[in-house]
Amino acid sequence: MAQNETIQLDHGAGGLASRRLLERVFAKHLANDVLAQMDDAAVLAAPGGRLVVSTDSFVVDPLFFPGGDIGCLAVHGTVNDVAMRGGRPLYLTAGFVLEEGLALADLERVVASMGRAAAQAGVKVIAGDTKVVGRGQADKLFINTAGIGVLADGLELGASRARAGDAVLVSGTLGDHGVTIMAARQGLGLDLSTRSDTAPLADLVADVLAACPGARLFRDPTRGGLATALKEIAEASGVAMELDEAAIPIAGAVAGACELLGLDPLYLANEGKLICVAPAEQAQAALAAMRGHRLGDRAAIIGRAVAEKPGRVWLNTAVGGRRLLEMLSGEPLPRIC
């Protein structure tokens, strides 16, 4: 492929150019037995038990950032949503919206990254679609993925299942993805030394469930961050949540960048971390399972669910005070008068 080749409207017209793009980029990096059928739809053997299905669209600026790119993110985001319900992800579909003028080399980098991420997550991309829109009608490249997984019988996980007394765990440091994207997007020209944490979490969930079969729920704190996810869980479960600020793991570089930019890491997106709520007596087992996994070495118990004032989430601050955490209605706006 020539260095300076770009996406043209022809690439989406369904003719020869489309066919060539499919072969040279998509088939090359995403190939598997199902996709090789090259038909209107994929035919799959029905797996036993219950299916878990999720879909998500990915719009990231910039496409490439320290620690990842839109391709692997589009795999991780969807397989993680499947995994949070306890599902084992098996299949993925992928739809691409390409802006005319996108460098073919960039597209191939993204698709190659998707291929590697899918292989690592143990999922096959079984169906796909590509559309090309004119300049300015999209921002370079959008991806939609849908994921299919299977759920073991008897496994019931969900946001409404937390109970007073339960422990709240996170699998590692918070805010890495959000602060990295923000710094990269804004082109601050600063080396903040942070990296996105984007990663597939199904194995980690499986390890925790093996050690802690009573786990109530998993949640990946993506947009809105830890605070928003916990507030949703507290409201859905009718419990309050009390967090210990000192126990919440935050990487030094992320803390430093947040301090400089005036951001709160508890509201920043994560793409390779999970929250687990577990009965107190199984919390240590869950923690040990997380720490035994490559993606959970900085896992921590950060708080507990309590019965009083259902729906509230607060932080016991490092200096001994208490601070309420809320869902933000939008961009954080100053409140100090």
Partner 1 sequence: MSPGPGGGARQRQRALLRGVVQGVGFRPFAHNLALRLGLTGMVANSAAGVELVVQGGAGAVDEFFARLLAEAPPLARIDEITRLDAPLAQGETAFVIADSRGGRRGALISPDVATCEACLAEMRDPTNRRHGYAFINCTHCGPRYSIIEDLPYDRPQTTMAGFAMCPDCLAEYHDPADRRFHAQPNACPVCGPRLWLADPAGRELAVADPLARAVRALAEGLIVAVKGLGGFHLAANAHDAGAVARLRAGKRRLAKPLALMVADLEAAHGLAWLDAEEARLLASRQRPIVLVRVRDGVDLAPGIAPGLKRVGLMLPYTPLHHLIMDRAQSQHGLRALVMTSGNPSDEPICQDAAQAVARLGAGAASGPLCQLMLLHDRPIHLRVDDSVTMVAGGQARLLRRARGYAPMPLLLAEALAPADCPPILAVGAQLKNALCLLRGRQAFVSQHIGDLASPEGLDFFAATAEHLAAILDAPPAIVARDKHPDYQSSRWADELGLPVCAVQHHHAHAVAVMAEHGLSGPVLALCLDGAGLGDDGTIWGGEMLLGDLADFQRLGRLRPFALAGGDTAARQPWRIGLALLLASLGRLATVALPLELIARHGQRLALIEAMIARGLNAPESSGLGRLFDGVAAICGLRDEVLYEGQAAMELEQAMDGQPSAEAGYAFALTRREGLWELDWRPMIRALAADAAAGAGPALLAGRFHAGLVRALAAWALAGAGEHGLGAVVLGGGCLANGFLLTGLTALLERAGLRVYTPSAMPAGDGGLCLGQAVVAAARWRLGLVEVGAP
The site for Fe ion (CB under 5 A) is made up of 337
Tell me which of Mg ion, Fe ion, partner 1, none is bound by residue 323, counting a contact when its beta carbon lies within the kind-specific cut-off of 5 to 8 angstroms.
partner 1
Q: How far is the CB of 336 from partner 1 (least distance, A)?
A: 4
Residue 20 vs 309, nearer CB to partner 1: 309
Distance CA 209, CA 171 (A): 13
Residue 155 sits in the site that holds partner 1 (CB under 8 A): no
Length of the chain: 337
Q: Which stretch binds partner 1 (CB under 8 A): 188-196, 248-256, 266-274, 279-287?
A: 188-196
Smallest CA-to-CA distance from 231 within 333, 317, 309 is with: 309
For position 187 contacting partner 1 by CB under 8 A, the verdict is: yes
By the rule CB under 5 A, 57 interacts with Mg ion:
no
CB closer to partner 1 out of 153 and 331: 331
Q: Does 96 bind partner 1 (CB under 8 A)?
A: no
Site for partner 1 in 270-309 (CB under 8 A): 309
Tokens 């035919």: give the residue: 43
Under a CB-based contact definition with an 8 Å cutoff, are residues 314 and 324 in contact?
yes
Out of 21, 29, 81, 273, point to the residue binding Mg ion (CB under 5 A): 81
| Contact residues for 269 (Cβ-Cβ < 8 A; gap 6+) | 177, 178, 181, 221, 222, 223, 224, 225
Query: Would you say 223 and 269 are in contact if contact means Cβ atoms under 8 Å apart?
Result: yes
Closest distance between partner 1 and the C-beta of residue 177, in Å?
16
Closest CA to 241 of 256, 230, 232: 230
56 binds, among Fe ion, partner 1, Mg ion, none (CB under 5 to 8 A by kind): Mg ion
Question: Is the distance from CB of 141 to CB of 105 less than 8 angstroms?
Answer: no
Candidate list 2, 16, 43, 333; residue touching partner 1; CB under 8 A: 333
CA atoms 182, 184, 189, 193: torsion sign: positive
Please count the residues of this chain forming the interface with partner 1, following the rule CB under 8 A: 31
Taking alpha carbons only, the member of 3, 131, 124, 132 closest to residue 75 is 124
Taking the complex as a whole, how short is the minimal distance between the CB of residue 327 and Fe ion, in angstroms?
A: 24
Q: Which residues bind partner 1 (CB under 8 A)?
A: 182, 186-190, 259-263, 309, 312, 314, 316, 319-324, 326, 328-330, 332-337
Q: Which residues bind Mg ion (CB under 5 A)?
A: 56, 77, 81
